[in-house]
Chains A and B, each alone.
Chain A
Amino acid sequence: MSLFDYTLKELQEKLHNKEITVTDLVDASYARIKEVDDEVKAFLTLDEENARAAAKELDEQGGDNPLFGIPIGIKDNIVTKGLRTTCASKFLDNFTDPLYDATVVSKLKDKKTVTIGKLNMDEFAMGSSNENSAYFTTRNPWNTDYVPGGSSGASAAAVAAGEVFFSLGSDTGGSIREPAAFCGVVGLKPTYGLVSRFGLVAFASSLDQIGPMTRTVEDNAHLLQAIVGHDEMDSTSADVEIPNYTEALKQDVKGLRIAVPSEYLGEGVSDEVRESIKAALKVYEDLGATWEEVSLPHSRYAVAAYYLLSSSEASANLARFDGVRYGVRSTEAENMVDVFKYSRRDGFGEEVKRRIMLGTFALSSGYYDAYYKKAQKARTLIKNDFDKVFEDYDVIVGPTTPTPAFKVGEKVEDPLTMYATDILTIPVNLAGVPGISLPCGFSSEGLPIGLQIIGKHFDEATIYRAAHAFEQATDHHKQKPALGGVKG
């Protein structure tokens, strides 16, 4: 049994009783990385020397909070002071010395977690499979022929593989939940505005959220608790009262009203996924919750609206990559405009260019109303669908993805097929509501299946309560991938 098979609570007890040290935890993390990361390929950058020094210091200081001394991996679009941050892009290949920590990173440092390294992703968080990384493709720990999902694929894979205890990802259209589903871990996309985006390299500012990825629901609640809160450095961060998320886990789900959108179990959803969700609903019935089928009638427009909106925002956000202040500059250019054009040509990968082009087109003169504004109006209709359902129900439950993980290379040639992977997660970002994915079964090929639970704005507590009740009634989360020759 590995140290990371314990829960946070158990680890804190062991630390407190001096059965283990923070150094042991950090050693376990790097040992596991050495053992399996050749296969999983989760890490872009390791911070071994600093992590070991930090562990030593923490062992001397001591401390007691639920996250004290716990090894964590950070998605590489979250800025870490002095630690290379590339967004898995060649453009930032030489960005080795970032000037500040993202707010979430500062908050975790306050809690004395230990940063093990930076995790691979789809370049600038654009992708659903990790195949858009400019460096290498992270693999699914359950079967390395398969993708781990994306864009936070390595954040999910590293947790599933036991390389770090937990990780941070970011989610713009499903980038935490989809890889969590594919890798069999727990991943939450918080309500838009709950977690500060300061220091998260912006992809689509009206949709992006940072969130926790863990093995269990309880650990997820602990990690969320540490990173939430209003931040004056992010003017879109919400000033709301923060509940105690772990307290919420103590409550059962008797009388919980669950809505199941018919659109989420319809066409395109595989039989195995549908059966797993039905089995999950049976578990909820047995626990005393009730469920009814509902409709989110504008679901089918979400992917189209999302690609127009997110690409438009991306085209504006990525204008900052100009080869002047940081990043790679083309040596070919002889005038200023060519510095921009050639640096961007050399620095950006194919998918990033495709989205910048789509977004620039949608925002360009003569097309703005027909595409960008139309998509914003579709977004209103999608958001209204959710508002209406939440008048009568506490949570919405369905699959996270229509199918389990697909094979590396299977969808890479066809952008539209790849985009459809996120059909069940995108509406959640458009509506700004929170959603979690947690394991609810396995396919006949042994790949994890994810259950998605969606809640009202700022009602993460009810999501956790529902997720925890299901998790405790099942044992899917106790399964571990066989890697490095032995199980876990």
Chain B
Amino acid sequence: MSEITKEQVLHVAHLARLAITDEEAEKMTKELDAIIGYAELLNELDTDNVEPTTHVLDLKNVMREDEARKWIDREDALKNAPDQKNGQFRVPSILD
């Protein structure tokens, strides 16, 4: 079924926020096609009446009081940042 195209790869790379070169896109097209092709092995399985498993344990929502707690202060939160100014993370402008 699958025939991954280079256009698809470029689209997925954009969704994943990954800059890739044309050359990389071509290599990735082949690799993804092979992996997806292999994954189609799953089509042998009749799963019409099978529930999907997201987690193996019976998980319940964990609730707690909505109270502010001390965690890390602003100075600490910023200390591993690549760029910062006036106590905030600094990034290039989002709007042109």
Contacts and interface: CB of A to CB of B under 8 A. Distances in A.
B68 interface: no
B81 A357 contact: no
Given A192-B57, A325-B80, A415-B31, A335 B94 contact: yes
Nearest to B13: A357
Interface in B37-96: 38-45, 47, 50-57, 59, 62, 64, 72, 76-77, 79-83, 89, 91-94, 96
Contacts of B12: 357, 360-361, 364
Q: In terms of DSSP, what is the predominant structure of the interface of chain B?
A: loop
Contact of B35 (A95, A378, A415, A431): A415
Contacts of B44: 301
Contacts of A325: 77, 80-81, 89
Contacts of A99: 72, 76-77, 79-80
Interface in B1-38: 4, 8-9, 12-13, 15-20, 28, 31-32, 34-36, 38
Nearest 3 A-B pairs (CB), nearest first? Answer: A432-B56, A376-B52, A329-B82
B56 A383 contact: yes
Interface in A84-116: 94-100
A472 B41 CA distance: 42
A1 interface: no
A381 B45 contact: yes
A326 B80 contact: yes
A345 B39 CA distance: 26
A342 interface: yes
Given A99-B72, A300-B41, A338 B19 contact: yes
B82 A361 contact: no
A337 B18 CA distance: 10
Nearest to A363: B15
Contact of B57 (A236, A305, A374, A415): A236
A357 B32 contact: yes
A279 interface: no
Given A356-B18, A377-B51, A304 B42 contact: yes
B94 A378 contact: no
Interface in A431-481: 431-432, 457
Chain A interface residue number, banded = 35 or more
A203 B44 CA distance: 28
Nearest to B1: A370
Q: Which of B32, B40, B92: most chain A CB closer than 10 A?
A: B92
9 contacts: A98-B80, A236-B55, A300-B41, A308-B42, A336-B94, A374-B45, A380-B50, A430-B56, A432-B57
A63 to B, nearest CB: 29
Nearest to B76: A99
A305 B55 CA distance: 14
A315 B41 contact: no
A445 B94 CA distance: 59
A326 B92 contact: no
Contacts of B50: 377, 380-381
Given A360-B16, A377-B45, A304 B81 contact: no
Q: In terms of DSSP, what is the predominant structure of the interface of chain A?
A: helix
Contact of A357 (B16, B47, B77, B91): B16
Contacts of B28: 353-354, 357
B37 to A, nearest CB: 9
A345 B54 CA distance: 30
Interface in A328-353: 328-329, 333-342, 344-345, 348, 353
Given A324-B89, A340-B17, A345-B18, 20 more contacts: A99-B80, A192-B56, A192-B57, A232-B64, A301-B45, A304-B40, A304-B42, A324-B81, A335-B94, A345-B20, A354-B32, A361-B4, A361-B32, A371-B36, A373-B52, A380-B50, A380-B51, A383-B56, A415-B34, A457-B57
A488 interface: no
A344 B55 contact: no
A354 B34 CA distance: 12
B18 A344 contact: yes
A322 B17 CA distance: 9
Given A192-B56, A324-B91, A354-B28, A304 B72 contact: no
Q: Which of B15, B17, B18: most chain A CB closer than 10 A?
A: B17
Contacts of B83: 329
B54 to A, nearest CB: 6
Contacts of B13: 357
A292 to B, nearest CB: 25
Nearest to B90: A324
Given A97-B80, A338-B19, A380-B51, A354 B31 contact: yes
Contacts of B72: 99-100
Contact of B52 (A300, A337, A379): A379
B81 A326 contact: yes
Contacts of B36: 358, 361, 371
A46 interface: no
A72 to B, nearest CB: 24
A325 to B, nearest CB: 6
